[in-house]
Amino acid sequence: MTDAAAAGASPPAAAPPPLPSVAEARRRILAALTPLPSERVALTADVTGRVLAAPVVAGVRLPPFANSSMDGYAVRVADVARVPCRLPVVGEMAAGMAPRAVTVAPGTAAKVMTGAPLPEGADAVVPYEWTDRGGGTVTIHQRPDPGHAVRAAGEDLEPGDSVLPAGHRLRPTDLAACAAAGVDALVLHRAPRVAVVTTGDELRPPGSRLRPGEIFDTAGLALEALVHAAGGVVAERGTLGDDPEQVAVALAAMAARVDCLVTVGGVSVGDHDHVRATVERLGRLRLWRVAMRPGRPLAVGRLGEALFLGLPGNPVSACVTFLLFAAPALLALQGADRPGPPTLPAMLAHPVEKPEGLETFHRVTWDPDPDAATGLPRVRLTGAQGSGITRSLALADALVALPADGAVIPAGARVDVIPLS
Are 189 and 232 in contact by the 8 Å Cβ rule? The answer is: no
| β partners of residue 150 | 68
Nearest to 115, CA basis, from 156, 175, 66, 58: 66
Q: List domains and CATH numbers for the chain.
A: 38-61+163-189 (3.90.105.10), 67-151 (2.170.190.11), 193-333 (3.40.980.10), 344-419 (2.40.340.10)
Q: What's the Cα-to-Cα distance from 50 to each of 44, 308, 309, 410, rounded to whole Å?
A: 11, 22, 21, 40
What is the rounded distance in angstroms from the CA atom of residue 240 to the CA atom of residue 251?
9
Tens of pLDDT, residue by residue over 125-145, are: 999 999 999 999 999 999 999
**pLDDT, position 421:** 83
Nearest to 286, CA basis, from 268, 295, 299: 299
For 30-63, letters b (16+ CB in 10 Å) and e give: eeebebbebeebebeeebebbbbbbebebeebbb
Tens of pLDDT, residue by residue over 156-169, are: 999 999 999 999 99
Residue 56 pLDDT exceeds 90: yes
What value does the mean pLDDT of the chain take? Answer: 94
Residue 223 pLDDT exceeds 80: yes
Are 363 and 385 in contact by the 8 Å Cβ rule? The answer is: yes
Are 203 and 217 in contact by the 8 Å Cβ rule? The answer is: yes
Are 319 and 294 in contact by the 8 Å Cβ rule? The answer is: no
Nearest to 128, CA basis, from 118, 138, 116: 138
Nearest to 141, CA basis, from 151, 132, 153: 132
DSSP string for 249-283 = HHHHHHHTT-SEEEEES--SSSTT--HHHHHHHHS
Q: What is the mean pLDDT of residues 309-334?
A: 96
Tens of pLDDT, residue by residue over 164-183, are: 999 999 999 999 999 999 99
**pLDDT, position 134:** 95
Interhelix angle 275-282/244-255, nearest 10 degrees: 60
pTM: 0.86
**pLDDT, position 171:** 97
**pLDDT, position 7:** 56
Q: State the burial class of residue 373 (Cβ atoms within 10 Å of its Cβ: 0-12, 13-18, 19+).
A: exposed
Tens of pLDDT, residue by residue over 83-117, are: 999 999 999 999 999 999 999 999 999 999 999 99
- CA angle 19-21-26, nearest 5°? 115
Report the relative pairing of strands 203-204 and 215-216 from DSSP bridges.
parallel
- Most distant CA pair in the chain, distance: 116
Tens of pLDDT, residue by residue over 108-123, are: 999 999 999 999 999 9
Looking at the chain, the whole-number percentage of residues with pLDDT higher than 70 is 95
Q: What is the mean pLDDT of residues 207-213?
A: 91
What is the rounded distance in angstroms from the CA atom of residue 137 to the CA atom of residue 123?
19
